Structure 1
Amino acid sequence: MQIYLVVVKVRLCLPYAHWESCFDADKPARAAAGIEDVFRYPVQGEQAALYGVKTAHPRMVHDFVYDPEKRPFVEASGFVVGREEITICEVND
């Protein structure tokens, strides 16, 4: 099965620390969906974060953000929905 690294740059409207705590709290839901966290960092000089996850289903990362049930939680974290940049890479380990 092909695995992908999905790197997402997120614009934030709240402090990084708030987004980080919300992102961390949602880890079990991502894991249950087959999304493995790899990293998350603040972007220097910007009100933004960069995170990377591994998954066999990269579209699921996008769908997680836009799911009508999850979107209120995503927006409450400070994630500015619609301003994210998503890059998908094939993992060849």
Structure 2
Amino acid sequence: MTKEIGFIGLGNMGQPMVMNLLKAGFKVKVYNRTPNKAEDVVAAGAQQVNRPKDLVIPGGIIITMVANDQALEEVVMGPDGFGENWERVAFIYQ
């Protein structure tokens, strides 16, 4: 099992979840449509990426915690979405 997780969505639920993953010893890469929302988790040890597709690693896990279906479609199937590499990750989504 990988100890690296990609996480999309750093709102009221996402940010505390990332903090708990970091405390549990996971390496976490994060993406948020509003980049400055990543400041606290980056200060705690997360790595911020500029595009959702930058979260994908072979055998990795991506967790999405986004506001709605449109936001989910954007981060998966949008121009910089991770969907083109879907076979390389396990999906955990809300």
TM-score of the pair, normalised by structure 2:
0.30
Higher relative CO (Cα under 8 Å, sequence separation at least 6) belongs to 1
Higher share of residues assigned helix? 2
TM-score, length-scaled by structure 1: 0.30
